[in-house]
Every structure is written in C-alpha cells, then in structure tokens.
Amino acid sequence: MSDRKHMGPKIGFESDVGDPWAPVKDAKTVVQGTNAVLGGRFISGCFVAPNTVLVGVDLSDKDLRGSQLFASDLRGASLPGANLDRVDAHGADLRRIDLREAVLDRANLLGVDGREAWFGGASAVGTNLEQADLRGANLDGVCLRDARLKGAHLEGASLLEADLDNASLLGATYDSNTLFPEGFVPENRGLVLK
C-alpha cells in the first residue's frame, strides 16, 4: 500500500499489482482517520473508485456531484450540507452517516444500508432509494418528491414533515414505531405494515 499525506489523513490505494493506477478488479481506495478532510478539487467532480472506504471522515459542505461511491463504506461519515447531486452510491454502507441538509437530488442509493442515518432537512428529489434499509433513520423534513422507495425498509424511521409528494412507496415496509407526516396514511400509498 502506497501512502500519501494530505493534512493528516492516511490515503492509500490497495492493490495486488505494483502500479497503484493500473486497473484492478478488486482494488479499493482507503481513507483512514476520523479527522480526515478531503476538500476542494481533490474530490469535487473526481471519480472516486468503487469500494472506497471513508469511515468517519468529515466531508461537510463538499461538492461531490456525480461521484461514483457505489459499494463504498461511509459508516459514520459526516457530510452535512454536502452536494451529492447525481451521486451513484448504490449498495453503499451509510449506517449512522450524517447527511443533514445535504443535496441528494437524483442520486442512486439503491439498496444502501442507511440504518440510523441522519438525513434531516436533506433534498432527495428524484432519488432512487429502492430496497434501501432505512430502519431507525431520521428523514425529518427531507424532500423526497418523485423519489423511489419501493421495497425500502422504514421500520422505526422518522419522516415527520417529509415531503412525499409523488414518491413511489409501493412495498416499502414500516412498523408501529415509524413516524409519518401529519395526515399521511401509509396503506393508501402501498406501504406494508410489519
């Protein structure tokens, strides 16, 4: 693993070949350290390799539009106010991530593990959250207009004051602990009580 120092975090590229830039089927980018901060041009608009490990990093208010983060590990990462418009993070581990006030419009979050994630006040217009595990997540005040949540797990999630206009919720599951906006009737939108 070759290392590069950027203001403290350890950044490296894991690969079985000598050239870290050579295409490798199972290569992954690793960023370690809870105080890691990647800013400006280093990450903005850059292709971030699939299987990126960004556990606990602080990417608050960063511009990550269009980044490829699918199957990445972002557990406990801090991204409040980040611009994640059109990000492809399908299959990513987003457990306990902080995405308050983030822009997730038209993002692909198919099948993410977003248990106990904090999305409060985020914009997720047209976002694909099909089959996402959002159990215990805070989605209070999130704009989910035109979002796709078919088959999502919403057990114990809070969606108070969320905008669910035209959101596709068919087959999404909820339980007695799920909190919905005032006047919202889950059965009328195709949700299934667990």
pLDDT for the residue 85: 97
Total domains in the chain come to 1
Percent of the chain with pLDDT over 90: 65
Looking at every residue in the chain, the average pLDDT score rounds to 82
- Domain membership of residue 126 (yes or no) is yes
pLDDT for the residue 24: 41
Q: Are strands 10-14 and 28-32 parallel, antiparallel or unpaired?
A: antiparallel
Domain that holds residue 131: 45-194
- Domain membership of residue 91 (yes or no) is yes
Comparing 34-43, 48-57, 88-97, 140-149, the range with the smallest average pLDDT is: 34-43
Per residue in 109-127, pLDDT (tens digit) is 999 999 999 999 999 999 9
- Domain membership of residue 183 (yes or no) is yes
Tokens of 77: 């990462």
What CATH number should be reported for the domain holding residue 185?
A: 2.160.20
Pick the closest to residue 115 from 98, 96, 131 (CA basis): 96
Stated pTM of the model: 0.79
- Domain membership of residue 49 (yes or no) is yes
- Domain membership of residue 34 (yes or no) is no
- Domain membership of residue 24 (yes or no) is no
d(CA 144, CA 57): 26
DSSP 133: B
pLDDT at residue 45 above 90?
no
- Domain membership of residue 50 (yes or no) is yes
Confidence of residue 49 (pLDDT cuts 50, 70, 90): low
Distances (CA, A) of 182 to 122, 136, 145, 168: 19, 19, 16, 18
Which residues are 128's β-sheet partners?
108, 148
